[in-house]
């Protein structure tokens, strides 16, 4: 069975990302074509990148990096739940991504963005980053607007049609994660 992580991309107190990710996780639980897990980068207490060697070398020295590496390596694909901060993703999510390299390679990813402009620019920013890490990003994405999916710009109340968008995005993530299996197997046997 494929394993897909739903990654909460914000860490600040009072973040809306947690409610958004939990909603997506509940929707994903209705499916039987993959196993889903909520991954909260906050739980990994990652400092600003503090590894002496570039992650592409895979020579990690810190326990927090090894723990994060093991978690991310265990999945076939990811759904990034990203806020939009200054027209980009969050610094916390970018930092967590930067900690690793091989763990992301030949996986598939989909996005759920949220913000004033539905997180669209944050998702575009993440797509560029994923390209460098050889993560296949799917076309379908979920965009949650502060104007129509959050009551009074505050409480998360997604419009009814958003659930359908989550499923379309997950369909594509699962299809691509499956298609990339061969490459991941080659990568594993090459060490």
Ligand X SMILES: Cc1cc2nc3c(=O)[nH]c(=O)nc-3n(C[C@H](O)[C@H](O)[C@H](O)COP(=O)(O)O)c2cc1C
CB of residue 16 to ligand X, shortest distance in Å: 4
Q: How far is the CB of 168 from ligand X (least distance, A)?
A: 23
Strands 35-40 and 136-145: unpaired
Q: How many residues does the chain have?
A: 191
The phi and psi torsions of 91 (rounded to 5 degrees) equal -60, -35
Q: Could you tell me which residues come within 8 angstroms of residue 28 by beta carbon, excluding any fewer than 6 positions away?
A: 4, 6, 34, 36, 79, 166, 170
**For ligand X, which is the closer residue by CB, 58 or 116?**
116
85 binds ligand X (CB under 6 A): yes
CA separation for the pair 162, 47 (Å, rounded) = 34
Let me know: does 105 contact 187? Beta carbons within 8 Å.
Answer: yes
For ligand X, what does the binding mask look like between residues 7 and 46, x meaning CB under 6 A?
A: ---x-x--xxx-----------------------------
Cα separation of 123 and 88, whole Å?
8
Q: Which CB sits closer to ligand X, 10 or 65?
A: 10
Per-residue interface string for the shown chain with ligand X, residues 88-127, x marking contact by CB under 6 A: ---------------------------xxx----------
Residues that bind ligand X (CB under 6 A): 10, 12, 15-17, 83-87, 115-117
């Amino acid at each position: 069975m494929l394993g897909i992580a739903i990654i909460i991309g914000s860490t600040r107190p009072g973040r809306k990302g947690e409610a958004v990710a939990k909603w997506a996780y509940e929707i994903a639980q209705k499916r039987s074509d993959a196993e889903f897990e909520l991954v909260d980068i906050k739980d990994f207490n990652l400092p600003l990148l503090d590894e002496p060697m570039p992650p592409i070398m895979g020579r990690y020295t810190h326990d927090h990096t090894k723990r994060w590496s093991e978690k991310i390596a265990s999945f076939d694909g990811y759904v990034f739940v990203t806020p939009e901060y200054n027209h980009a993703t969050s610094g916390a999510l970018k930092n967590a991504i930067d900690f690793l390299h091989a763990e992301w390679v030949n996986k598939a990813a989909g996005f759920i963005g949220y913000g004033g402009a539905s997180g669209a620019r944050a998702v575009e920013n993440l797509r560029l980053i994923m390209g460098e890490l050889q993560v296949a990003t799917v076309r379908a994405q979920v965009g949650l607007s502060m104007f129509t999916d959050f009551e009074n710009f505050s409480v998360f109340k997604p419009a009814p049609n958003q659930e359908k968008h989550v499923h379309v995005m997950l369909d594509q993530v699962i299809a691509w994660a499956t298609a990339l299996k061969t490459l991941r197997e080659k990568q594993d046997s090459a060490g």
